[in-house]
């Protein structure tokens, strides 16, 4: 029996997932959580094989990537399978770098979700097709790749921060911020801040 914990801030979503998953003979939901502290407590107590993790856990709360990193740091860490609506490059990279084993989207058919849980429990990597395509695009020789730091700059740009504010947020000099912006403009084929943000959203590098 594969033991599962659900981490999502919406009770209705958790209830729906529980009903789906518990309908499988070899899958059992043993706990639920809506944020970081609850997830650490439930996982520590129930020792699940797999955690189904949403990325957005409410305004002002730690996101799913941060919760994933905390769970992977536990003495007996579970495998984490992200199940979310977000498939931007920044979300994918953060989740996988935090230690998630796989990344599926909430519009996946139930059978794909069940297969993903079973594969994750075996230690296999599970990726939604659009997520796999994003990762392949990043590793294709000759492809124009936005670095993780440039993604951070784009996210700050989308919040309307100026060079000085971005330098403070990133703990770098304003000259470094300008250098990042120059590289971003070249890679995205734009020449304005607004153009860079629009292109990044269109190419699903950052969220709206």
**pLDDT digits 0-9 by tens, 22-57:** 999 999 999 999 999 999 999 999 999 999 999 999
CA-CA distance, 8 to 57, in Å (whole number)? 6
Give per-residue pLDDT as tens, 148-171.
889 889 989 998 899 999 999 999
CB 35 within 8 A of CB 9: yes
**pTM exceeding the 0.85 threshold for the entire prediction:** no
Closest CA to 57 of 71, 46, 45: 71
CA-CA distance, 80 to 22, in Å (whole number)? 18
Binned at pLDDT 50, 70 and 90, residue 99 comes out as very high
Binned at pLDDT 50, 70 and 90, residue 12 comes out as very high
Q: How many helices (H) and strands (E) does the chain have?
A: 10, 6
C-alpha distances in angstroms, 57 versus 26, 95, 97, 109, 121?
A: 28, 14, 18, 22, 23
Mean pLDDT of the chain: 91
Binned at pLDDT 50, 70 and 90, residue 87 comes out as confident
Alpha-carbon dihedral 132, 136, 137, 141, rounded to 10 degrees: 180
Provide DSSP, 69-136: HHHHTSSSPPEEEEEES---HHHHHHHHHHT-SEEEETTS-HHHHHHHHHHHHTT--EE-HHHHHHHH
Whether 143 has a pLDDT exceeding 90, the answer reads no
pLDDT at 204: 82
CA-CA distance, 56 to 90, in Å (whole number)? 13
Domains of the chain: 2-138 (3.40.50.2300), 148-203 (1.10.10.10)
Closest CA to 77 of 39, 32, 43: 43
């Amino acid at each position: 029996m594969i033991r599962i914990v659900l981490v999502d801030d919406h009770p209705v979503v958790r209830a729906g997932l529980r009903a789906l998953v518990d309908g499988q003979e070899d899958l059992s939901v043993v706990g639920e959580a809506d944020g970081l502290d609850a997830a650490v407590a439930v996982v520590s107590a129930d020792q699940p094989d797999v955690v189904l993790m949403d990325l957005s856990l409410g305004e002002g709360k730690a996101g799913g990537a941060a919760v994933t990193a905390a769970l992977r740091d536990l003495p007996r860490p579970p495998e984490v399978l992200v199940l979310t609506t977000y498939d931007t490059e920044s979300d994918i990279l953060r989740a996988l770098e935090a230690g998630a084993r796989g990344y599926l989207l909430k519009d996946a058919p139930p059978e794909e979700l069940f297969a993903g849980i079973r594969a994750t429990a075996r230690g296999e990597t599970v990726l939604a097709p659009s997520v796999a395509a994003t990762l392949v695009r990043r590793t294709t020789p000759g492809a124009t790749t936005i670095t993780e730091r440039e993604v951070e700059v784009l996210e700050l740009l989308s919040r309307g921060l100026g060079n000085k504010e971005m330098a403070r947020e990133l703990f770098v000099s304003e000259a470094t911020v300008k250098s990042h912006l120059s590289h971003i403009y070249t890679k995205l084929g734009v020449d304005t801040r607004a153009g860079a943000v629009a292109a990044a959203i269109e190419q699903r590098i950052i969220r709206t």
